[in-house]
């Protein structure tokens, strides 16, 4: 995932509309402020947070174990089976793997199934099969591909569950814990797309991805990516002069694309990332291809940009054909990346609870709202309140073989996530859930 700060004006312009199931869970900051002191001073909760801290070393050991089970895109199965086994060992005999490959666990609440919150971390990494995933340790820092992204998220879930079960924490709402597939580039959120197709009764969503507890991702940056393949007859540059060229057509398209204008807010971007083509210097190119990336914090702007850009490409082909009075040049346009955009309002309980929980575990820590492309994009695009928060600790070099992790106060991640969950789902007999029960989504 990558992220940046979002414009607050844009965030504030959008308002979350939630429907109420029962009683009157007020939304926003005041509701969170009312529930927060009750939760953090509850003796069982205090003990559960302490258990998470005592379990810090075991959690870190598990993080290294999971990292060493390779999980390339579309090949998460071995890691998924291990994760399933761990869930079963934690008492969830009904834990299962769905048709797409997601590991799913239901921890029932006392409220008859409402509201229902999903807490997810992704199983997949960006690394191809054959990548050395051995964890190397030096001076308290570990280096391994995927050690933070998202092995840390996966163990955050395990740590939370372990402590909740040991202390018999009963929530009002149901919690579904999910180890999902296909979050990274090539996966295109296939795990989450399948999950939300199969489960239409989800009221809220938390993704544990990244590390820092100083941020809340409440904006999902959408992206569309295309490969465009220009094909023509090809021929000798001298003898067959007069034929249309695949490279010339692509050049026309790129020149037009380069001049496109997009809004700064909501941030909307494009680039022709790679180009390939031609056979030799003295041949009219028979083939040329390029990959194009488009992103936006708004689905509407993304679709507008996409329509204009695709139009320019078709126009460029028409111009190249017209130049040589032919129709022999064609372009094939292939969608290779598709992530929806979305936003959870800054004053929604999910965002407020995730912010507020930080003050309990790390008082004084400032929290920023950010935009990124994560699993939360999918629920956000469906109007389901969602955030992505960190699993704790320090790290860097994301998506590189030199990814590193340092277990500095790692327990703050699961502690913060647990408090967020408890505020949203309610502690049985103590607080009401802040998450509003929704009607089933279409
Ligand atoms: Zn990730």
Condensed to tens digits (0 to 9), the pLDDT of residues 280-306 reads: 999 999 999 999 999 998 889 999 999
List pLDDT tens digits, range 75-133: 999 999 999 999 999 999 999 999 999 999 999 999 999 999 999 999 999 999 999 99
CA of 81 to the centre of ligand 1 (A): 19
pLDDT at 6 over 70: no
The mean pLDDT value for 319-347 works out to 96
Say if residues 41 and 49 touch (Cβ distance below 8 Å). no
- The per-residue pLDDT for 27 is 55
CA of 97 to the centre of ligand 1 (A): 20
User: Please, what is the angle between helix 246-258 and helix 299-323, to 10°?
Assistant: 140
CA 137 to ligand 1 centroid distance, Å: 22
CA dihedral sign, ordered 371, 377, 380, 384: negative
Residue 155 has pLDDT above 50, yes or no: yes
Residue 438, pLDDT score: 64
CA dihedral of residues 263, 266, 267, 269 (deg, nearest 10): -60
Distance from Cα 181 to the centre of ligand 1, integer Å: 11
Buried b (16+ CB within 10 A) or exposed e, 103-120: bbbbbebebeebbbbbbb
So what's the pLDDT on residue 309?
98
pLDDT digits (tens, 9 = 90+) for 300-320: 999 999 999 999 999 999 999
What is the 368 CA–ligand 1 centroid distance (Å)? 19
Q: How far is the CA of 35 from the centre of ligand 1 (A)?
A: 30
- Rounded distance from Cα 236 to ligand 1 centre (Å): 48
Range with the poorest average pLDDT among 2-6, 147-151, 354-358, 391-395: 2-6
Mean pLDDT of the 246-262 span: 98
Please give the distance, rounded to the nearest whole angstrom, from the Cα atom of residue 183 to the centre of ligand 1.
7
Predicted local distance difference test score (pLDDT) of residue 348: 95
User: If you write DSSP's letter for every residue of 93-122 in order, what string do you get?
Assistant: TT-EE-TTS-EEEEE--SSTT-SEEEEEEE
- Cα 190 to ligand 1 centre (Å): 14
Please tell me the distance between residue 142's alpha carbon and the centre of ligand 1 in angstroms: 18
What pLDDT was estimated at residue 240?
97
Q: How far is the CA of 335 from the centre of ligand 1 (A)?
A: 22
- Sign of the Cα torsion 434, 351, 358, 173 reads positive
Give residue 363's pLDDT: 82
CA of 150 to the centre of ligand 1 (A): 5
402 C-alpha to ligand 1 centroid (Å): 15
Spacing, Cα 196 to ligand 1 middle (Å):
19
Determine which of 182-186, 260-264, 386-390 has the lowest per-residue pLDDT on average: 182-186
User: Is pLDDT above 50 for 7?
Assistant: no
157-209 per-position pLDDT tens digit = 999 999 999 999 999 999 999 999 999 988 899 999 999 999 999 999 999 99
How much distance in Å is there from the Cα of 235 to the middle of ligand 1?
46
What is the secondary structure of 9-66 as a DSSP string? Answer: HHHHH--------SS----SHHHHHHHHHHHHT-HHHHHHHHHHHHTHHHHHHHHHHH
**Tens of pLDDT, residues 48-80:** 999 999 999 999 999 999 999 999 999 999 999
pLDDT at 436 (0 to 100): 85
Cα(151) to ligand 1 centroid in Å equals: 9
Across all residues in the chain, what is the average pLDDT? Answer: 92
- pTM comes to 0.85
CA of 356 to the centre of ligand 1 (A): 23
State the distance from the centre of ligand 1 to the C-alpha of 124, rounded, in angstroms: 8
pLDDT band at 28 (very low <50, low <70, confident <90, very high): low
Q: Which residue reads 């073989």 in tokens?
A: 401
């Amino acid at each position: 995932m990558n992220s940046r700060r979002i414009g607050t004006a844009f965030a504030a312009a959008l308002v979350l509309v939630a429907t109420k199931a029962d009683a009157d869970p007020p939304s926003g900051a005041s509701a969170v402020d009312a529930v927060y002191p009750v939760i953090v001073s509850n003796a069982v909760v205090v003990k559960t947070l302490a258990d998470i801290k005592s379990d810090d070393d075991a959690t870190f050991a598990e993080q290294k174990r999971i990292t060493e089970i390779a999980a390339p895109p579309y090949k998460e199965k071995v890691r998924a089976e291990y994760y399933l086994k761990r869930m079963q060992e934690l008492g969830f005999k009904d834990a299962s793997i769905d048709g797409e490959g997601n590991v799913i666990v239901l921890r029932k609440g006392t409220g008859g199934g409402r509201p229902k919150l999903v807490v997810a971390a992704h199983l997949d990494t960006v690394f191809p099969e054959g990548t050395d995933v051995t964890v190397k340790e030096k001076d308290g820092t570990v280096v391994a591909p995927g050690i933070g992204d998202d092995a840390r998220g996966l163990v955050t879930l395990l740590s939370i569950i372990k402590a909740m079960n040991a202390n018999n924490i009963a929530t009002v709402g149901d919690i579904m814990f999910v180890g999902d597939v296909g979050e990274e580039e090539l996966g295109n959120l296939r795990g989450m797309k399948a999950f939300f197709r199969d489960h239409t009764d989800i009221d809220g969503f938390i993704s544990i991805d990244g590390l820092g507890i100083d941020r809340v991702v409440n904006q999902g940056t959408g992206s569309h990516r295309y490969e465009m393949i220009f094909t023509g007859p090809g021929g000798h540059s001298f003898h067959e002069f007069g034929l249309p060229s695949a490279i010339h057509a692509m050049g026309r398209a790129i020149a037009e694309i380069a001049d496109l204008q997009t809004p700064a807010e909501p941030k909307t971007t494009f680039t022709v990332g790679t180009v390939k083509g031609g056979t030799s210097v003295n041949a009219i190119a028979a083939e040329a291809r390029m990959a194009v990336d488009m992103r936006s914090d708004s689905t509407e702007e993304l679709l507008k940009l996409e329509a204009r850009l695709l139009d320019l490409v078709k126009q460029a082909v028409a111009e190249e054909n017209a130049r040589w009075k032919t129709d022999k040049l064609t372009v094939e346009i292939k969608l290779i990346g598709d992530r929806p955009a979305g936003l959870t309002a800054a004053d929604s309980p999910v965002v407020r609870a995730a912010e507020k929980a930080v003050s309990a575990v790390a008082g004084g820590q400032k929290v920023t709202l950010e935009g990124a492309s994560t699993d939360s994009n999918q629920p956000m695009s469906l109007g389901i309140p969602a955030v992505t928060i960190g699993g704790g600790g320090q790290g860097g070099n994301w998506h590189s073989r030199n990814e590193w992790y340092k277990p500095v106060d790692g327990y703050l991640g699961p502690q913060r996530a647990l408090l967020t969950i408890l505020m949203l789902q309610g502690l049985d007999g103590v607080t009401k859930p802040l998450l509003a029960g929704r009607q089933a989504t279409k």
